[in-house]
Amino acid sequence: MSRLDPHSYADDAQPRTKSFDWKASVDFSTQVLHSEVTLRFVAPAPGGSLDLDTRALAVDAIVGPHGEALEHTLHPAEPILGSRLEINVPRGAESITIRYRTSPEASALQWLTPEQTLGKKHPHLFSQCQALHARSVVPCQDTPSIRQTFTASMDVPSSLRAVMGAAFVGRDVHDERAVERFEMPQPIPPYLFAFAVGDLASKDLSPRSRVWTEPAQLDAAAWELAHVEDHIRAAESLFGPYDWERFDLLVMPPSFPYGGMENPRLTFLTPSLLAGDRSLVNVVAHELAHSWTGNLVTNATAEHFWLNEGFTVFAERRILEAIDGAEMAALHAAIGYEKLLEAFVLLAREPELTKLRTHLTGVDPDHAFSVVPYEKGYLFLKTLEAAAGAEAFDKLLGTWLRRHRFGSATTEDFLALVEQEIPGLLAKVDANAWIDRPLLPASFWKPESARLAAVQKVAGRVPTKDESKAWSVTEWHLYLETMPKRSPIAVCQELDATYSLTTSKNPEVLVSWLILACSSGYAEVLPRVEEVLGQTGRMKYLKPLYRALDGRSETKQLARDLFARFRGRYHPIAQEVVRDLLK
Ligand code: BES
Ligand code: ZN
């Protein structure tokens, strides 16, 4: 008897879920899902306890395969794990059925009133299950080491559409209500369970990809994402066939807490991507890349998160290189490196979190989240690639993806494969230092390029018009990231007067600028900061902006006032994280 994962009650001696059938009736008036789930096991139960993960669920009944009531205990909630639901499963049972309701405070769900949507007429609901939030929607073995297929049906107001990270099966309308049915043939870890309900319309982008969003921004979304098929083709030629049939995209309400979420068959994207210049499609490349790294080969627990994100950043920049060229990929790598150095400073008191392989017993993965697994993971893989040679490394990557296809993997699995395929490589790059020690080892791969060098030449001062005339938004973003976070007010004034950064339409450039300006005490930007904090729920922007305000005595109170004012607009996960940060 032992736990499979520090973040789940799932026990390796108990029945393992193979698939589930989920039904939910969506009640917008009470913000509750009235649900039923049947869990089907890999093998008939040996008889005895089954521990499931739940968070804030009300359990109404649990029955066995013949409809017989099953004894169960819903244990008191633990702060990170939630409540263990212990069920006495009879010997030989191949399934159990649980009737339950979600809470209006379900951590995975955000319920939006009509006023909080673009169209202002209809309510909206969406889920975000990574890291530990699937359990607030479905009682389940909520560990990525257990993959499951599922069927689902959602009963929604007939004026709305339901979409899921699954194959659409059908929609039946009965007056005021519609039932939408789905099926997920590919087994997934629970954190990839995903749906949204709202006034949604779609437009085809290619035979295997369409974009969904509120009608008012459908055209803008379709324009921004028009080239998605080029990305899929580039990715397939790098990593092998796309195994999930469809790659649809859902552009979310502004409160979506992430840039993107790789929900299988239906990637969720922040609307802040719709910059009108296609400059942020690296996020699409990233979520697409997860179709191989993360969704096909999944980290066994959150302690191996770098296997998901480090590999995906590596794959994202390979796709970017294929489409936009090596210079562009190098600029992105350099931005990533700057962000990694900032993260090391922020995590100075938690150096444990700067190891690739983390130890997270008693630590919430949403708290441990940082760019470290992304950018340190990326640098580790680039360092391995440089030491092995590109060809040998590509072969290794192919073997990794084939060996663990539709499975889960640990850091140790990866190290064992490297040692087996390219003996001596780990020692050559000092792999132990990467995996088990904080910060970066003494030597590592660094991006090099002409455009990168041109930006680095200007670092620390205001560029002349001539120096910056050929800069793309990516170069501006990098330049702002390389600026010292406390720069003289005169430098801020000159930058803004010459380049109108406060009115930038590109959110990466805008937010980098606002952070620099706030940290430097350049108060002219505060109205714009307030606007951004009120308009977006993307944590990548909220966290550093609130932190910058909190970091200066003149704006410390403002940070608290703005959070009190806007917090109701943010997703429960973002509320929690910002509250944590302002503590
Ligand atoms: N899977 C992540 C988002 C995530 C991570 C959600 C951990 C919950 C817990 C997603 O693939 C991601 O990394 N998104 C990035 C995209 C960026 C790296 C291009 C984001 O949201 O900014
Ligand atoms: Zn990712």
Tens digits of per-residue pLDDT, 108-127? 999 999 999 999 999 999 99
pLDDT for position 289: 99
Residue 357 per-residue DSSP state:
S
Q: Is the CB of 256 under 6 A from ligand 1?
A: no
Check: CB of residue 314 under 8 Å from CB of residue 285: no
Cβ neighbours of 399 (radius 10 Å)? 14
Q: For 250-261, b where at least 16 C-beta lie within 10 A, e where not — what string?
A: bbbbbbbbbbbb
Q: Ligand 2 is a single-atom ion; what residues have CB below 5 A from it?
A: 309, 312
Asked whether the bond before 134 is cis by omega within 30 degrees of 0, the reply is no
CA–centroid distance, residue 543 to ligand 1 (Å): 14
Percent over 70 (pLDDT), the chain: 100
Q: Is the CB of 357 under 6 A from ligand 1?
A: no
CA–centroid distance, residue 312 to ligand 1 (Å): 10
pLDDT for position 319: 98
Question: 127 vs 142, 191, 424, 572, CA distance in Å?
Answer: 15, 10, 45, 11
Q: Residue 67 is encoded by which pair of tokens?
A: 């409809």
Report the side by side order of strands in the sheet with 148-157: 58-63, 95-101, 32-41, 17-27, 148-157, 177-188, 167-174
The atom number, within ligand 1, closest to the CA of 538 reads 21
Low-confidence ranges of the chain (pLDDT < 70): none
CA–centroid distance, residue 462 to ligand 2 (Å): 33
Check: CB of residue 172 under 8 Å from CB of residue 184: no
Residue 252 per-residue DSSP state:
P
Q: Is the CB of 378 under 6 A from ligand 1?
A: no
pLDDT for position 1: 84
Chain segment 317-337, per-residue pLDDT in tens: 999 999 999 999 999 999 999
Work out the mean pLDDT of the chain and round it to a whole number: 98
Q: Is the CB of 260 under 6 A from ligand 1?
A: yes
pTM of the model: 0.98
**Catalytically active residues, by annotation:** 287, 374
Q: Is the CB of 130 under 6 A from ligand 1?
A: yes
